[in-house]
A and B are shown apart, each in its own frame.
Chain A
Amino acid sequence: MKDLFKVNTRTIVATGLGAAIFTLLFMYVKVPSPIPETSFQTAYGVSALFATLFGPIAGALISFIGHALSDAIQYGSPWWSWVIASGVSGLIFGFAFNRTKVEEGEFKGKDILTFNVIQVIGNAIAWIVVAPLLDILIYQEPASLVFTQGVTAAIMNAISAGVIGTLLLVAYAATRTKKGSLSKK
């Protein structure tokens, strides 16, 4: 448990660069979805990957900073309720840290399942609980509206994080090398 929240220089650098990628993807790389006017945010795939590799602190900060920054660039000011919800989703994704064997070069059946269960829980809590509650608290939005929005967002983001995150983790696992495995031919 203590290890989960350990922060070293690598975590900080991963956070900084991860947030930069998150910002970029959040603004430009949205995959259009079949439902009009909505799109899948590839950025959540990235925060899920980084959270799994570097832990909950990195995950939380990456989505928080990334979301706040891209809001600020696009709208002039962050919409705090969603920014905080993003941060919460990244934090929960981070519980997959050290729970899979991805660093040892394996990301198969059980690991994929673990990752996706955690990722779905994270999205559910962030978008169905945190975001709507904050919207009601800060902006007094009607509850029926915010919960509908929340459920849609949770589904969309769980699909992004699930598909893209899993693909990225599989690709990452392939680059890991086992002890003593490299020799010249």
Chain B
Amino acid sequence: MNPKMKIFSYNSADTYIHRLSGLTKLLCFLLLTFAVMYSYDIRVILAVMAFSVLLMRLSLIQFSQIRVMVIYVLIFLATNAVISFFFSPEFGVSIYGTRHEFARVFGVSLTYEQLFYQVTKFFKYAAVVPLGMIFLLTTNPSEFASSLNGIGVNYKAAYAVALTLRYFPDIQRDYHDIYLSQQARGLELSQKAKFLDRFKNSLLIVIPLIFSTLDRIEVISNAMDLRGFSKSKTRTWYTSRKLNRQDALALGVSALIFLIALGVSLFINHSRFYNPFI
């Protein structure tokens, strides 16, 4: 693993998206992803996707920043597509209620329904990715916890997230250091070792990491108790911001998209699916 990697490659460019408060971004992210997750209408999905790609341009995210993620996602989607086809090649037919076969390969029939279902699903998965990336790359980690508290998550749970973000780099560095110091005492960690040995050896690194973390939990919770954490039912956040007109605009647009997605399903398609076959 690469210890030089950062958890959030948050870059503090100054764009409209960056300037929105963390709370706004979290709410918009949730509204838009829920819209996509609810709807199985490819028109809605593609519209949201186009919108989010536009937002990505707006927030000056470079392709190089997201290349690795895009590759991961494509691999995931490709595997999913292949497996789900072999498991239920007739699933599309059962959803859309018609059957238009256009080819047969090795005795398996290919139908337009299946194709349409799988394409829709592909985009349904893919559409949330740019939204997540925008959120991840433009939100200051400091604002994240207070935003969670802002949408109603209990402040203690929200603070646990803040602690995760605070200590992840520390733990990453510790892991790396333990890995090295174990080798220096004579541990063989090369890829050549046998499966069982490799398993045992990774434990030799994970165990000290966990035990030093358990000790650390004591010290950190002491430090927090000494400064009055969890003494009252609520807390305020140094990083929280008042919402302004821009936030209201962003929230309004996202809510509208969410309602449209819902409306299309309820009133036009009368189901979560858009069915072009009847």
B partners with A: yes
- Interface check A113, CB cutoff 8 A: no
Contact B128 A24 (CB under 8 A): no
Contact A139 B167 (CB under 8 A): no
A74→B70 CA distance, assembly (Å): 9
Q: Interface residues of A: mostly helix, strand, loop or mixed?
A: helix
Question: A residues within 8 A CB of B203?
Answer: 164, 167
A69-B164, A76-B129 known; A13 vs B88 contact (CB < 8 Å) = no
A145 partner, pick from B84, B166, B218, beta carbons under 8 A: B84
Question: B residues within 8 A CB of A32?
Answer: 195
Q: List 12 A-B contacts (CB under 8 A).
A: A16-B162, A17-B167, A17-B216, A23-B168, A27-B1, A74-B72, A77-B132, A77-B133, A139-B124, A139-B125, A140-B117, A148-B87
Q: Shortest distance in angstroms between B11's beta carbon and chain A's nearest beta carbon?
A: 15
A14→B217 CA distance, assembly (Å): 6
Contact A77 B202 (CB under 8 A): no
15 new A-B contacts, CB < 8 A, other than A17-B164, A31-B199, A78-B132, are: A7-B156, A8-B230, A13-B217, A14-B221, A17-B167, A17-B220, A20-B168, A21-B171, A24-B172, A46-B210, A72-B132, A75-B76, A75-B132, A77-B132, A175-B211
B212-261 contacts to A, CB under 8 A, are 213-214, 216-218, 220-221, 224-225, 229-230
The 6 closest A-B pairs by CB, nearest first: A16-B163, A77-B132, A142-B88, A145-B87, A15-B160, A13-B221
A74-B69, A77-B128, A164-B203 known; A144 vs B136 contact (CB < 8 Å) = no
- Interface check A110, CB cutoff 8 A: no
A21-B210, A77-B129, A80-B37 known; A16 vs B166 contact (CB < 8 Å) = yes
Contact B210 A168 (CB under 8 A): yes
Interface positions of B (Cβ within 8 A of A): 1, 7, 33, 37, 40, 66, 69-70, 72-73, 76, 83-84, 87-88, 91, 95, 117, 121, 124-125, 128-133, 136, 156-157, 159-164, 166-168, 170-172, 175, 195, 198-199, 202-203, 206-207, 209-211, 213-214, 216-218, 220-221, 224-225, 229-230, 272
Residue among A17, A72, A167, A171 with max Cβ neighbours from chain B (10 Å): A17
Question: A residues within 8 A CB of B213?
Answer: 17-18, 21
Residue among B40, B87, B167 with max Cβ neighbours from chain A (10 Å): B87
Q: Shortest distance in angstroms between B233's beta carbon and chain A's nearest beta carbon?
A: 12
A135→B270 CA distance, assembly (Å): 22
Q: Shortest distance in angstroms between A154's beta carbon and chain B's nearest beta carbon?
A: 18
Q: Shortest distance in angstroms between B142's beta carbon and chain A's nearest beta carbon?
A: 15
A56-87 contacts to B, CB under 8 A, are 61, 65-66, 69, 72-78, 80
A43→B83 CA distance, assembly (Å): 26
Q: Shortest distance in angstroms between A120's beta carbon and chain B's nearest beta carbon?
A: 20
Question: Digit string of A130-158 for contact with B (CB within 8 Å is 1, else 0)?
Answer: 00000000111110110010000000000
Q: Shortest distance in angstroms between B191's beta carbon and chain A's nearest beta carbon?
A: 10
Residue of A nearest to B120 (CB): A140
